[in-house]
Each structure stands twice: as C-alpha cells, then as structure tokens.
C-alpha cells in the first residue's frame, strides 16, 4: 500500500560512531528520534544495511503514528555529490562510490536527499539556528577535526563535495604533519584533539580539550599558552577565509563551542586585529547543538521533495 505523506520526513545524521535518526515534522520539530551504533568496524556493507533498515523502521513508525513521511534525508561525513545522491568517499563509514540515493529509493519509493554532515548542519543553523536571516555565513564546527560549511547567498556551497575544508588551510609553514599529507594545517593546532595533545605534550598529563578549557579559566599557564596558540591559528585561517568570501557571520559549533566566550571573545579580538579593509564579522556560538546535522538532513529531504 502506498504511503500517504503528511509533511513529515525521515532524517539521518550518520557518524563514524553513532547514527542519529528521527521523524521531523513540517514545523521542523523532531517527533520521534532514535540513536544507533554505526558499527563501522563491521564493514561498509553492514553500515549500509543498518542505514536502510533504520530508514524502513522509522517510515513504518511514522505511518503507524499517523504522520507518514514523504521523503528521506541522510547527512554523512566524507566527499558527497549531493545532486547525484552519491557518496564518493566516506572513510569513516568505509564507503566508496556508493549510490546511496538509489539504494534508499529502491527500498522506500520516496524522494531521497543525500548531503554532507557539516554542510547539512550549516544549512540548519542558517535556517533554524544562529544564522537565521543571514545570507552569507561560515558554520565552523570544531571537534576532533575542523570542517566548514560555506553558506553563500543563502545556499550551501559544495563544489562537487570538496568545498569547506578549512581545517586544512595552512596556518604554520612547515608546521606539524597532518593526516591529509600536508603540514601546518589548522586542524593540527586548533581542533579539540590538537589542543588536548598539545597540553599533554607540555604538561605530561593526558586531558580532554574540555579539561584544558577549564584550566584556562583557572589560570593554568600551560593551558593558557596552548589555548592562545589555538585561537591564533583560528584567526589566521579565518583572516584568509574572510579576505576571499567576506561572510557576515561565523557560527562556531562542535564540542569546543561548549567553552563559549572563553573561546569566542579572544577569537573576535585576534581576528579583528588581523583585518584591515575587510568588514569585521560577528562570531557567535551555534544554537542547534548535536541536532544540527539531523535537522539539516530533514531540510534537504523537504527540499528534495519540493516542500517549502
């Protein structure tokens, strides 16, 4: 029997560790949510099967609850060709050249939208979060790594899936080696992993980035030095980005955004000091937290189905 759509969509944010999934209503409210382990260690086929099964499960639950979904959106890490619905490469999931949209369409017979997790999160923040009514912004989640979602004239910019890799802007010539094969990348100085690693190397004590932030607030000189280097690296990268793209707003998300003004206040000051003729942007904390990717996937699903 054909499903009778009600304006709801099924959305998934597929990460290397967990899958956040839900039924999202026409008012962007999450009507039902589920979390599953990704199970990446089981292999690429197992992850794909888990995604397909979870979508089917949610579609059935939506129909049983009287809010039958009319489209499906999936956000995931890697290089994604959104228009084709194809995953070029997702190392975290073990996927390469996977036509995910075709697999889901065959299973569900519904419109399918596939997107990059950070671009989806940036879209959600621009429509529903801290960037509402802003046409040009950069969404900058800082976690284990650093990526960026470029929202230009109200639309995420993908460049065939390759845009937004601000974490691999070189901020230190001949600097620390990066897993990308380069040296001196922003991610090696200002990500949560880099901050924790730099503190541990100097203090001889393993800590998390959140613990480093707490020690900065308490005046620990090693933590203050490590934090200052991360802020300066971010300012260098953002200065280059602003010179080229000049967005109105930077929205900082990810785990490091939890430090709030401890990060944002010195970052604003450092960036402002570097800019000359460029307009000085607003830098704010993201509003949607870890639901940004899920809500972005829902927005992509609605757009793919032709819904407003």
pLDDT, tens only, 200-223: 999 999 999 999 999 999 999 999
**Selection from 183, 186, 169 nearest residue 243 by Cα:** 169
User: Would you put residue 246 in left (φ > 0), alpha (ψ -120 to 50) or beta?
Assistant: left
Q: How confident is the model at residue 39 (pLDDT cuts 50, 70, 90)?
A: very high
Is the pLDDT at 246 greater than 60? The verdict is yes
> What percentage of the chain reaches a pLDDT higher than 90?
78
Q: How confident is the model at residue 78 (pLDDT cuts 50, 70, 90)?
A: confident
Could you tell me the sign of the dihedral formed by the alpha carbons of 263, 266, 268, 270, in that order?
Answer: negative
171 neighbors 184 (Cβ within 8 angstroms): yes
Q: Within its chain, how far is the Cα of 65 from the centroid?
A: 30
Predicted pLDDT of residue 162: 84
Separation of alpha carbons 31 and 49, rounded Å: 24
Is the pLDDT at 94 greater than 60? The verdict is yes
State the distance between the two ends of the chain, measured CA to CA, in whole angstroms.
26
Q: How confident is the model at residue 307 (pLDDT cuts 50, 70, 90)?
A: low
For 160-175, how does the pLDDT look when each residue is reduced to its tens digit (9 = 90+)?
A: 888 888 999 999 998 9
- Name residues whose C-beta falls within 8 Å of residue 121's C-beta, 6 or more positions apart in sequence: 75, 139, 141, 149, 253, 288, 292, 293, 296
Parallel/antiparallel/unpaired status of strands 18-24 and 8-14: antiparallel
For 230-240, how does the pLDDT look when each residue is reduced to its tens digit (9 = 90+)?
A: 999 999 999 99
Is the pLDDT at 249 greater than 90? The verdict is yes
Could you tell me the sign of the dihedral formed by the alpha carbons of 269, 274, 277, 279, in that order?
Answer: negative
Separation of alpha carbons 127 and 120, rounded Å: 11
Q: How confident is the model at residue 1 (pLDDT cuts 50, 70, 90)?
A: very low
């Amino acid at each position: 029997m054909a499903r009778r759509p009600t304006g709801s969509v099924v959305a998934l944010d597929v990460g290397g560790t967990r899958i956040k999934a839900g039924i999202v209503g026409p008012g962007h409210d999450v009507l039902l949510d589920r979390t599953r382990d990704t199970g990446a260690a089981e292999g690429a086929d197992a992850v794909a099967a888990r995604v397909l099964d979870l979508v089917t499960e949610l579609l059935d639950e939506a129909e049983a609850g009287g809010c039958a979904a009319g489209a499906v959106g999936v956000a995931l890490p890697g290089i994604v060709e959104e228009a084709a619905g194809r995953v070029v490469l997702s190392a975290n999931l073990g996927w390469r050249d996977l036509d995910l949209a075709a697999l889901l369409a065959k299973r569900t017979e519904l419109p399918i939208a596939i997107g990059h997790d950070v671009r989806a999160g940036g879209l959600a923040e621009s429509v529903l979060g801290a960037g509402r009514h802003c046409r040009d912004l950069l969404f900058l989640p800082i976690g284990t790594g650093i990526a960026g979602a470029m929202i230009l004239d109200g639309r995420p910019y993908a460049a065939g899936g390759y845009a937004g890799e601000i974490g691999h802007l070189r901020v230190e010539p001949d600097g620390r080696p990066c897993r990308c094969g380069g040296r001196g990348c922003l991610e090696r100085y200002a990500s949560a992993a880099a901050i924790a690693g730099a503190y541990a190397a100097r203090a001889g004590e393993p800590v998390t980035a959140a613990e480093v932030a707490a020690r900065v607030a308490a005046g620990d000189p090693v933590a203050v030095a490590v934090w200052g280097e991360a802020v300066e690296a971010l300012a260098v990268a953002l200065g280059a980005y602003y010179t080229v793209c000049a967005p109105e707003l930077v929205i900082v998300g990810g785990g490091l955004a939890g430090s709030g003004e401890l990060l944002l206040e010195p970052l604003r000051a450092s960036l402002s000091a570097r800019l000359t003729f460029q307009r000085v942007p607003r830098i704010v904390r993201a509003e949607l937290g870890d639901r940004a990717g899920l809500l972005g996937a829902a927005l992509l699903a609605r757009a793919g189905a032709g819904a407003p």
